[in-house]
């Protein structure tokens, strides 16, 4: 059996109980009338987000049912259900995951009312999906214990702070994957490289792993960073303020010349056939991505809205991080086409 399909079927089966408990109104999914139950799949519902969305949406006449899981599980479940989609809305996954779903004809075209409030370079979905929240993944230094100016790129870590920087323990986490991509994508060679990456890139990634510190489950990498056992960490912009408040450190973002991996959580209406009424799904997208709703969302939970009209609602600390870093130019379709093969090679040949 195809590995991806097998993973998809496994994820679908493990989520089945949760889905059944959430989806109370399957009979109503064929209608697009106001009040119809919309099945919403997302990896961005934890820590009160689902309850907030549900409460705010109810005031607008939406009736929502949720499937909450990690990004990979949501992706695999949606792929497993491609022949008979159960979701009406998917949001929270990044560009590469949405490109994979789009490649399976999983979305219907819809240009939201707020599309003209999105920076042009962030509109990569050809009208089939659109960005909501931006996350930047970058190195951070604890300048109580090291000089951030000594680290100009990920490749400096192995020599300059050997054993004192964090490396991923596996390839499953989205932030961990972006740390690895931060190195690999500097060495793209689609013509001669293995899996599109030059040998120098694989060598640099191997050195990164060999000379870093893999944090065991019994330890907390934030505590290690706060105490100076780790002087360089990597993290995502949406969580930096909370981590600093909870652990008491002040992180200094490191901005390499090529910039930092910047991914944007997307939203799209799921393709359920030509005879399906998509009015309610499209109305939800128009509502949820609006400047007003996105402003309220980030004020409550943090994050950087891609909608420029909502930008000022982002926490001040996140705005500071954005000013201190520059987005890397990433071909997300190239990433989507190669990501699973890259991670398999890393698991088999690089992670010890």
- Structural domain that includes position 173: 136-261+328-350
Shared domain for 209 and 123, answered yes or no, is no
- Per cent of the chain over pLDDT 90 is 82
How much is the pLDDT for 28? Answer: 40
pLDDT digits (tens, 9 = 90+) for 14-36: 444 344 434 443 444 444 566 68
- How many folded domains does the chain comprise? 2
How much is the pLDDT for 32? Answer: 57
How much is the pLDDT for 34? Answer: 67
Give the CATH number, domain containing residue 158. Answer: 3.40.190.10
Shared domain for 339 and 226, answered yes or no, is yes
β-partners of residue 238 are none
How much is the pLDDT for 39? Answer: 98
pLDDT digits (tens, 9 = 90+) for 82-100: 999 999 999 999 998 999 9
Higher pLDDT, 277 or 340: 277
Classify 72 in phi/psi space as left (phi over 0), alpha (psi -120 to 50) or beta. alpha
Higher pLDDT, 29 or 337: 337
Shared domain for 201 and 84, answered yes or no, is no
How much is the pLDDT for 41? Answer: 98
How much is the pLDDT for 21? Answer: 39
How much is the pLDDT for 142? Answer: 97
Shared domain for 78 and 22, answered yes or no, is yes
Shared domain for 200 and 299, answered yes or no, is no
pTM (predicted TM-score): 0.79
* pLDDT over 50 at 229, yes or no: yes
pLDDT digits (tens, 9 = 90+) for 248-285: 999 999 999 999 999 999 999 999 999 999 999 999 99
* pLDDT over 70 at 245, yes or no: yes
Task: Evaluate whether 243 touches 317 at the Cβ level (below 8 Å).
Answer: no
pLDDT digits (tens, 9 = 90+) for 115-155: 999 999 999 999 999 999 999 999 999 999 999 999 999 99
How much is the pLDDT for 33? Answer: 66
Q: How far apart are CA 298 and CA 276, in angstroms?
A: 32
Average pLDDT of 193-203? 98
Average pLDDT of 30-46? 82
* pLDDT over 70 at 10, yes or no: no
Q: Which of 32-36, 58-62, 210-214, 235-239 has the lowest mean pLDDT?
A: 32-36
Shared domain for 334 and 314, answered yes or no, is no
Task: Evaluate whether 45 touches 53 at the Cβ level (below 8 Å).
Answer: yes
| pLDDT band, residue 5 (cuts 50/70/90) | very low
Q: How far apart are CA 91 and CA 175, in angstroms?
A: 17
Shared domain for 344 and 201, answered yes or no, is yes
How much is the pLDDT for 7? Answer: 44
Shared domain for 68 and 167, answered yes or no, is no
Shared domain for 300 and 342, answered yes or no, is no
Q: Where does residue 308 rank: exposed (0-12), middle (13-18), buried (19+ CB within 10 A)?
A: middle
How much is the pLDDT for 24? Answer: 41
How much is the pLDDT for 22? Answer: 43
Shared domain for 176 and 114, answered yes or no, is no
Please name the residue ranges forming H helices in 31-115. 49-58, 71-80, 95-103
> Which residues have C-beta within 8 Å of that of residue 185, sequence separation ≥ 6?
261, 328, 330, 335
How much is the pLDDT for 238? Answer: 87
Higher pLDDT, 331 or 17: 331
How much is the pLDDT for 98? Answer: 96
Shared domain for 169 and 218, answered yes or no, is yes
Shared domain for 87 and 158, answered yes or no, is no
């Amino acid at each position: 059996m195809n590995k991806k399909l097998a993973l998809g079927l496994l994820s679908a089966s493990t989520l089945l109980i949760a889905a059944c408990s959430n989806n109370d109104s399957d009979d109503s999914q064929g209608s697009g009338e106001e009040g119809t139950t919309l099945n919403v799949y997302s990896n961005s519902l934890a820590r009160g987000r689902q309850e907030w969305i549900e409460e705010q949406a109810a005031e607008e006449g939406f009736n929502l049912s949720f499937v909450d899981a990690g990004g990979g599980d949501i992706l695999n479940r949606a792929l497993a259900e491609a022949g008979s989609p159960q979701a009406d809305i998917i949001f929270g996954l990044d560009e590469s995951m949405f490109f994979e779903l789009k490649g399976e004809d999983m979305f219907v075209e819809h240009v939201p009312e707020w599309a003209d409030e999105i920076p042009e370079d962030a509109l990569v979905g050809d009208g089939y999906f659109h960005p909501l929240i931006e996350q930047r993944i970058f190195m951070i230094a604890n300048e109580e214990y090291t000089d951030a100016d000594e680290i100009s790129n990920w490749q400096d870590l192995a020599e300059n702070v050997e054993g004192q920087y964090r490396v991923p323990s596996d390839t499953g986490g989205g932030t961990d994957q972006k740390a690895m991509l931060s190195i690999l994508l500097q060495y793209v060679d689609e013509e001669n490289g293995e899996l599109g990456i030059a040998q120098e890139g694989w060598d640099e990634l191997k050195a990164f792993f060999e000379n870093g510190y893999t944090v065991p489950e019994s330890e907390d990498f934030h505590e290690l960073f706060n105490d100076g056992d780790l002087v360089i960490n990597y993290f995502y912009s949406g969580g930096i303020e909370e981590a600093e408040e909870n652990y008491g450190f002040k992180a200094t973002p490191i901005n390499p010349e090529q910039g930092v991996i910047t991914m944007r959580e997307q939203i799209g209406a799921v393709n359920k056939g030509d005879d399906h009424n998509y009015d309610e799904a499209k109305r939800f997208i128009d509502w949820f991505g609006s400047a007003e709703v996105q402003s309220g969302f980030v004020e409550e939970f943090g994050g950087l809205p891609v909608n420029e009209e909502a930008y000022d609602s982002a926490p001040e600390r996140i705005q500071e991080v954005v000013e201190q870093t520059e987005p890397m130019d990433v071909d997300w379709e190239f990433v989507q086409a190669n990501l699973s093969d890259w991670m398999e090679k890393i698991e088999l040949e690089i992670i010890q």
